[in-house]
């Protein structure tokens, strides 16, 4: 299976982390592990003051979980292990000492919505429609729910997760609090990302760190919570409903 790629460029105290996968920037286990490890390393890197998260290409920001890997799961333990990949990334972003800025250039599905929600500040383009499609394949957005609900609230999360075939616009995401700003083009968005990240990089880092702790106050139990959620998803992914749905989508 293609594991995709991850690269980090550090310039002017800003680390830009870019991921790519040929299947709509979906996230297999290897790439999830690389992402969580990279956030942990950058958190300890004194040469980095701000982290920008983006994906390559101009169509999809993130297609969510890798369908190939979901189909390959045969035990509850393997299922839980796969979904812990998302949990580990969210927890690494949450626990990072650095402010994380999201740069969302295209459509975002499932776990990708979780990544956007785990950013401290998130920019998007008009093409950054969002969807939580998990129920259509017999599982649910259990692991990412704490991050998404924290950003958009319970009512909006219910709407997004239950209307699982509907794309919400980037402006809907901005209205609900997922995105701070929405731009007409990627060029405009990228310029705004650079401006904010470079400003933040030269602010008092101790002050930013203390602000980060305030932003995420009350999320300390997420380590255990997300592990429990990963087990739920790991069990459901073995259902006949999910196996048939994944096979249908893949065909």
> What's the CATH code of the domain at 163?
3.90.226.10
Q: What is the pLDDT along the chain (251 residues), one digit of tens a residue?
A: 478 999 999 999 999 999 999 999 999 999 999 999 999 999 999 999 999 999 999 889 999 999 989 999 999 999 999 999 999 999 999 999 999 999 999 999 999 999 999 999 999 999 999 999 999 999 999 999 999 999 999 999 999 999 999 999 999 999 999 999 999 999 999 999 999 999 999 999 999 999 999 999 999 999 999 999 999 999 999 999 999 998 887 76
Residue 211: inside a domain: no
DSSP string, 73-126: --SHHHHHHHHHHHHHHHHHHHH-SSEEEEEE-SEEETHHHHHHHTSSEEEEET
For residue 24, what pLDDT is reported?
Answer: 94
Check: pTM over 0.85? Answer yes or no. yes
Partners of 8 in beta bridges: 17
Residue 91: inside a domain: yes
At residue 233's C-alpha, the angle toward residues 148 and 238, to 5°, is: 150
The Cα–Cα gap between 34 and 29 comes to 9
Residue 125: inside a domain: yes
Residue 16: inside a domain: yes
Residue 244: inside a domain: no
Q: How many domains does the chain have?
A: 1
* DSSP type of residue 166: P
The Cα–Cα gap between 95 and 228 comes to 19
49 Ramachandran zone, left/alpha/beta (phi>0; psi -120 to 50):
alpha
User: Nearest CA to 111 among 161, 182, 75?
Assistant: 161
Cβ proximity of 97 and 211 under 8 Å: no
Residue written as tokens 């295209």?
A: 106
Residue 113: inside a domain: yes
Residue 25: inside a domain: yes
Q: Domain range spanning residue 99?
A: 5-192
Query: What is the Cα gyration radius of the chain?
Result: 17
Residue 49: inside a domain: yes
For residue 249, what pLDDT is reported?
Answer: 77
């Amino acid at each position: 299976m293609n594991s995709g790629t991850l690269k980090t460029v550090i310039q002017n105290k800003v680390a830009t982390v870019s991921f790519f996968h040929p299947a709509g920037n979906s996230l297999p286990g290897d790439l999830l592990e690389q992402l969580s490890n990279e956030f942990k390393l950058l958190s300890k890197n004194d040469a980095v003051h701000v982290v920008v998260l983006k994906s390559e290409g101009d169509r999809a920001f993130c297609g969510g979980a890798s369908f190939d890997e979901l189909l390959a799961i045969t035990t509850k333990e393997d299922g839980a292990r796969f979904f812990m990949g998302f949990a580990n990334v969210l927890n690494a972003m949450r626990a990072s000492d650095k402010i994380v800025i999201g740069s969302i250039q295209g459509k975002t599905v499932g776990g990708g919505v979780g990544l956007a929600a785990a950013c401290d500040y998130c920019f998007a383009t008009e093409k950054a429609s969002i969807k939580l499609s998990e129920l259509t394949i017999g599982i649910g957005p259990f692991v990412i729910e704490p991050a998404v609900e924290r950003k958009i609230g319970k009512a909006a999360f219910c709407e997004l997760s239950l209307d699982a075939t509907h794309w919400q616009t980037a402006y809907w995401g901005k209205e609900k609090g997922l995105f701070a700003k929405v731009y007409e083009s990627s060029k405009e968005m990228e310029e705004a990302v650079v401006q904010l990240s470079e400003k933040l990089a030269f602010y008092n880092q101790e002050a930013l760190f203390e602000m980060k702790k305030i932003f995420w106050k009350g999320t300390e139990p997420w380590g255990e919570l997300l592990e429990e959620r990963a087990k739920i998803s790991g069990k459901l992914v073995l259902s006949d409903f999910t196996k048939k749905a994944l096979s249908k989508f893949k065909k």
